[in-house]
Structure 1
Amino acid sequence: MPSFANPFQGNVNKKLSKEELIQAVRLDIAGELEAIFMYDAHVQATDDPIAKKVIADIRDEEKAHVGELMTLLKILDPAEAAHFAEGEAEVREMLEAIGAAVPSGGEEAAARAPQTGRSR
């Protein structure tokens, strides 16, 4: 648990190596996914419309954070990005094989996303 009365609590002894940074970003992604799960559970667990609206908005911000961190991870580790692309291609092939609609790239989905007017 953080000790906010201690101004040195969050200080680190050294800078992260690239490998450590990649691991930290993966952990950050996991944390964001956990937050999405928790906020979504809160939305489902209440009938209060104001709470639903506010918590759903916060949940959706966490989803944007996942996208930001995934983009950073792809930049930091191009080999991992290649594995992501390989997995996406495999799913696209499966969809084509069963005649399902193949979604287009993420840019189009981002263009359809609701705009909140706030910077994140």
Structure 2
Amino acid sequence: MPNFANPFQGNVDRKLSNAELMQALRLDIAGELEAIFLYEAHYLATDDPVARMVLADIRDEEKAHVGELVTLMRHLDSRETELFLEGEGEVNAMLEKLGIAAKGAGGPAPASGPTVGDMAGR
């Protein structure tokens, strides 16, 4: 059963520091991953086509939320970005050893509108 944190518990009269925000984003990602797991379990547990379609759509939206949160973390912390890219490089090297082309090689497709990165200098 989910254990929802009280977002106002222990509030202080200040904004989160960058380190605190990064920790909060990690918790947010954990919540999104839990939701993905649950929606997938429910999707697999039914044969009803409407329920499967709705659950799959919601599950996929949660996956998009993970991507948004990771992108925000990469924007907020350059060291975090370096570590993510280091891990990506390690997996790509393993794929290369196995003769497997990395999916999405060449980077992500350009966004259709403004991105968080576009706002970096503002």
Please say if 1:52 is aligned against 2:52.
Answer: yes
Query: Cα distance, 1:13 vs. partner?
Result: 3.3
Q: Which aligned pairs between 1:61-72 and structure 2 lie closer than 5 A?
A: 61-72=61-72
Q: Residues of 1 paired with 2:51 and 2:44: CA distance?
A: 10
Which residue is 1:37 aligned to?
37
| Structure 1 residues 50 and 86: alpha-carbon distance in aligned structure 2, compared to 1, 3 A threshold | same
Which residue is 2:84 aligned to?
84
User: Which amino acid in structure 2 is aligned with residue 53 of structure 1?
Assistant: M
The alignment partner of 2:108 has SS state of: helix
User: CA offsets per residue over residues 19-78 of structure 1, 9 Å max, x none?
Assistant: 110100011011101100000000000111111111110110001000000000011111
Which residue is 1:116 aligned to?
none
| Structure 1 residues 90 and 10: alpha-carbon distance in aligned structure 2, compared to 1, 3 A threshold | closer
Structure-2-length-normalised TM-score: 0.76
In the TM superposition, structure 1's runs of 4+ consecutive aligned residues that sit over 2 Å from their partners are: 9-14
Higher fraction of helix: 1
Query: Cα distance, 1:98 vs. partner?
Result: 1.2
Query: Cα distance, 1:105 vs. partner?
Result: 4.6
| Structure 1 residues 98 and 44: alpha-carbon distance in aligned structure 2, compared to 1, 3 A threshold | same
Q: Which blocks of at least 5 consecutive residues in structure 2 are unaligned?
A: 113-122
Query: Cα distance, 1:107 vs. partner?
Result: 1.8
Structure-1-length-normalised TM-score: 0.77
User: Which amino acid in structure 2 is aligned with residue 13 of structure 1?
Assistant: V
| Structure 1 residues 89 and 46: alpha-carbon distance in aligned structure 2, compared to 1, 3 A threshold | same
Query: Cα distance, 1:16 vs. partner?
Result: 1.1
Aligned length: 104
